[in-house]
Each structure stands twice: as structure tokens, then as C-alpha cells.
Amino acid sequence: MKFRAKITGKGSLDLFIQVSSTVARLVKVCVLRVCPDRICFGSVGSGGLQEAGLWCEVQQRAFQQFRMEGVSEGLNEIRLELTAEHLSRAARSAVGASSLKLQLAHKRCPCLTVVVELPSPLGRARSVVHDLPVRVLPRSVWRDCLPPSLRASDVSVCLPRWRTLRSIAERMANVGSHVLLQADLSGRMTLSVETEVVSIKSYFKNLGNPPKAAVGVPQNGDLERMVQVQVDNRKLLQFLEGQQINPATALCNIWDSTLLHLVLVQEDVSLQYFIPAL
């Protein structure tokens, strides 16, 4: 197995810093899946829906250099388990750097080596090397490290302004631990929390829905039928506070009383977060 990649340019470096920081805020330990055309970050055991889960993909074109050889010719992939905060801390050291390199190495134990090239006032580059311990996952557990396989959602709606949504979730978290999300195919969405002494509800309308063909929503669905899911507000708030990416598209998919699926899409990055219903 071999893996080597290099990132140069402020835009690409900032993007990788944002991705690694977001992943570290959402999971403690993650699986890094290296493919010929992309790298993916996933929750450990993300194949199930019993707990909140993450799946993030970074396209190969986000790297200026990218080479890999998988476990075999017929199975050209590599899967590693590592501490997400270690990678985030190494990536943050690349602020203002000229390049960042990733390489799979073996130094007493398997490592993902991160080499950051920093400019020097004297004109000489300085290198900062981070050796991050990793666990090479055997193929017997690969099936447990995939995003959930889901049918078409019951409703999909574009998310409102991020700051507004985060502010509402923060206030509701001070009232109750569970939040109810409702949405329909006409672009309406509500968030509500209710206890024995207080009830709070926020309304959004005209949010827009993605094309039905793009998300697989049934063509004959009732546009005004509200689909709902109740989730742990701490998990929702963790996602809203943790994501550092500036997405071009942000979607909320709901499976009635089953699952909340939040999707962020940027040019070279897509991030999915799964929150099961309570």
C-alpha cells in the first residue's frame, strides 16, 4: 500500500484545514478511506444508524499531487483509523504554509505523516513533521465503514441561513434536550421544542427544494404534507457549531420519524451528517 498527496495554494490549504477541523469537531476517531479519485472521512461503524454518523468526501482534484496504491490490484483502496483531532491539529499548523504533504509511512508503527512547509523570513523553508499513528483496517471490517445505504427521503428542503439556524438551535438547547424538525415539499420547515412549562416554535418558508430527480423524492408526494423527525438537540447543535466549510448547497433530508440527514456540498467537498430519530 502506498499513499502520497500534496496540497499547495492558499485556497486548497484553507479547504483542507476546514475539512479536518470539521471532522474533528464531529467525531473523535474516524476512518480515512483513500481511493484513486478521492479521500473520505467516516465515523467508526458508520454503516449503522443507531448513533449520529459522519461521511465526508474530498475529491482528488483538491490536491495538486495525488498518488496511491491500494491493498491489491483488484481492490485499489486503503482504509485507516486515526484520531481526528491529531489530523486537525497537524492541518492547523499549515496556516500560512506553502504546502502540506500527506504520506503513509511506517515508523515503528503505521503512521500518516503530515509534512508542512513553512516560509522563513530568511528565505529558507522550514518543515514541520507530524507522525500520526494510524491503524490499518483489515478488509474484514471494511463493510462497517461505509455510509448508510438509504432509500429516497420523504422530504428534502434547503436549509435556512446558517447563523440563524444555529442561533435558534442554541436557544432551544437551553429549553429542552429534544428538538422536532418538520418540513414539506413546498419549502416550509419548522423547529420546535416543548416541555411541561414552555413551548417554542420557529417557522421558515420559501426555503426551496432541490430537484426531485436529484434526491429521489417521490414524484407524486403531497407538497404540503409535513414530515417530521425528533432528534437530540445536542447532536444537531454539534453539527451546526462544528462545521467550518462554506458550502454552496446545504440540504436537510428527512425520513419520517426515522432519520435526519444533513448535507453540505462545496465544489470539491461533500459532507453528510446522519442523526437518528429518538
- Against a cut of 0.85, is the pTM above it? yes
For residue 11, give Cα distances in angstroms to 51, 123, 263, 268: 33, 22, 22, 11
pLDDT band at 144 (very low <50, low <70, confident <90, very high): confident
- Answer with the one of 120, 145, 170 that is the final residue of a domain: 145
Average pLDDT over every residue of 215-244: 82
Cβ atoms < 10 Å from Cβ of 198: 9
The H or E element that residue 235 is part of is helix 233-242
Residues 255, 187 within the same domain: yes
Helical packing angle, 10-26 and 233-242, nearest 10°: 160
Residues 251, 168 within the same domain: yes
Percentage of the residues of the chain whose pLDDT score is greater than 70: 94
Q: Is residue 168 part of a domain?
A: yes
In tens, the pLDDT along 160-214 reads 999 999 999 999 999 989 999 999 989 999 999 998 889 999 999 999 988 654 4
State yes or no: pLDDT of 85 exceeds 70: yes
Distance of CA 194 to the CA centre of its chain: 29
The domain total for the chain is 2
- Answer with the one of 145, 170, 195 that is the final residue of a domain: 145
Average pLDDT over every residue of 92-121: 94
Q: Which domain holds residue 186?
A: 155-276
Task: Assign residue 131 the CATH number of its domain.
Answer: 3.70.10.10
β-strands 259-265, 249-255 pairing? antiparallel
Residues 206, 132 within the same domain: no
The H or E element that residue 179 is part of is strand 178-183
Q: Is residue 224 part of a domain?
A: yes
Is residue 93 packed enough to be buried (19+ CB in 10 Å), middle (13-18) or exposed (0-12)?
middle
Instruction: Give the pLDDT score at 213.
Output: 42
Residues 14, 106 within the same domain: yes
Instruction: Give the pLDDT score at 48.
Output: 61
Residues 139, 161 within the same domain: no
Residues 135, 262 within the same domain: no
Q: Is residue 113 part of a domain?
A: yes
Residues 190, 264 within the same domain: yes
Q: Is residue 150 part of a domain?
A: no
- Answer with the one of 87, 121, 145 that is the final residue of a domain: 145
Measured over the CA atoms of residue 139, residue 144, residue 145 and residue 151, the dihedral's sign is: positive
Question: Do 42 and 55 form a contact (C-beta atoms < 8 A)?
Answer: yes
